[in-house]
Amino acid sequence: MAPGAERRLLLPGSIGWSRRAKDRLATVVIGSAFGLAMVPLISLLYEVAKRGIPGLSVEFFTESARGVINGGGAAHAIVGTLVITGVAALISVPIGIMAAIYLTEYGSGKLRRALTFFVDVMTGIPSIVAGLFAYALFEIFFGPGIRLGVMGSVALSVLMIPIVIRSAEEVLKIVPNHLREAAYALGTPKWRTITRIVLPTAFAGLVTGVMLATARIIGETAPLLVTTGVIDSMNSNPFDGRMQNLAVYAYNEYRSPGVMKQASYDRAWAAALTLIAIVMILNLAARLVYRRYKTEIR
């Protein structure tokens, strides 16, 4: 800081007007930035709700599209999204958090820096490339033309894992060392320190990271187009055959609406609305967990 500023600080009770003005300005700028960030959100939610609500119905949630031309429900897509995303999370979360633990607790020097670096590179993989990779991988074992729900999950994991790792790593890094040291001083083995002290302290942040990653992938279309295939009928088994999901369903309804355009568009928006609703509910649950388990570091 400039010497003049230091002198001003030491005088009790006298805050110069320029500092006060800067403080006010900063508050206004920060507040407006937040407001600006809210504008697209409100616009998006409004548009999706406005266009999606006409497409909602009981049928939408309970019927699949099997045997129905230009109609039917999206139940098969809803189940597909839940299954594919669930399996992707099942794959990504354990691996991601363990890798983050490796990076913060065990890794040393070069290997750790290399791993962090490459995880960052992974975040740049385009979603369609992740899909093509997953397809190529399964093609080796199952031959060409294979389409499985779990392939979509693998493709989504490629996209999800880096986000889980990076955000988990940031949160684990912030857990202060004195907590760990206190535990070691008491003779706690390292692994128990991690599971009993470090993870619970960082728990809320970890949940945020997982939520972020889930939200990222749940609306992905491109990788699923080339891995899970498209089907009208219900399928809840990720290891057996094609599976529909809300994102691909919405995209197909938009892209090839057929002669009855408006009905197809309505369904596409309704599927998008359902997707957002699912994420909102999951997010809400995560937030409540956060509030319950939030620990502040003193």
Partner 1 sequence: MSRSRWLAVLAFASILALGVAACGSSDDEATGSSSDLSGEVAGAGATSQEAAQEAWIANFENENSAVTISYDPVGSGGGREQFNAGGVAYAGSDAAISAEEGEMKAAVKRCGPGELLEIPAYVSPIAIVYNLPEVEDLQLSPETLAKIFNQKISSWDDKAIAADNPGVDLPDTRITPVNRSDESGTTENFSEYMSEVVPSVWTHEVSGDWPVKGGEAASGTSGVIEAVGAGEGAIGYADASQAGELGIAKIQVGKDFVEPTPEAAAAILEESPEDKELSADKYMFPFALDRKTESEGTYPIVLVSYLIACTEYKSAGEAAVVKGFLEYAISPKGQEAAAENAGSAPLSAALTKKITPAVEAIKVG
Partner 2 sequence: MAAEVDITTNAGQLLAAASGGRRRVGDRVFSNLATAAGVTILALLAGVAIFLFVKGLPAVTASASELPGGKSFIDYAAPLAFGTVLAAAFAALVAVPLAVAAALFITHVAPPRIALTLGYLVDLLAAIPSIVYGLWGIFVLGPATVPAMKWLEENLGFIPFFEGPASTTGRAMFVAGLVLAVMILPIVSAVAREVFAQTPRKLQEGAQALGATRWEMIRMTVLPFGKSSVISGAMLGLGRALGETMAVTIILSVSGVVTFNLISQANPSTIAANIALDFPESSGIAINLLIATGLVLFAITLVTNLAARAIISRQNIE
Six-digit token pair at 141?
């074992």
Binding status of residue 186 toward partner 2 by CB under 8 A:
yes
| Region 193-232 residues binding partner 2, contact defined as CB under 8 A | 194-195, 205, 208-209, 211-212, 215-216, 218-222, 226
Instruction: Pick the binder of partner 1 from 94, 261, 293, 294 (CB under 8 A).
Output: 261
**Residue 272 and residue 138: Cα distance in Å, rounded?**
29
User: Which of left, alpha, beta for 26 (phi over 0: left; psi -120 to 50: alpha)?
Assistant: alpha
Q: How many CB atoms lie within 10 A of CB 44?
A: 12
- Compose the 51-80 pattern: x for residues touching partner 2 by CB under 8 A, - for all others: ------------------------------
Stretch in the footprint of partner 1 (CB under 8 A) among 40-48, 69-77, 87-95, 106-114: 69-77
Tell me which residue has tokens 């128990």.
192
Instruction: Pick the binder of partner 2 from 3, 4, 12, 145 (CB under 8 A).
Output: 12
The DSSP secondary-structure symbol of 54 reads G
| Region 90-149 residues binding partner 1, contact defined as CB under 8 A | 143-147
Shortest separation between residue 240's beta carbon and partner 1, angstroms: 10
- Compose the 16-55 pattern: x for residues touching partner 1 by CB under 8 A, - for all others: ----------------------------------------
**How many CA atoms lie within 13 Å of 59's alpha carbon, on the beta-carbon side?**
9
Q: Is the dihedral of CA 61, 64, 67, 68 positive or negative?
A: positive
Shortest separation between residue 156's beta carbon and partner 1, angstroms: 18
**Residue 49 and residue 21: Cα distance in Å, rounded?**
42
In single-letter form, the type of residue at position 228 comes to T
CA 272: distance to chain centroid?
16
- Compose the 229-248 pattern: x for residues touching partner 2 by CB under 8 A, - for all others: ------------------x-
**Residue 50 and residue 71: Cα distance in Å, rounded?**
20
Binding status of residue 101 toward partner 2 by CB under 8 A:
yes
Binding status of residue 68 toward partner 1 by CB under 8 A:
yes
Q: Which of 169, 88, 97 is nearest to 130 (CA)?
A: 88
Shortest separation between residue 229's beta carbon and partner 1, angstroms: 5
Binding status of residue 122 toward partner 2 by CB under 8 A:
yes
Binding status of residue 233 toward partner 1 by CB under 8 A:
yes
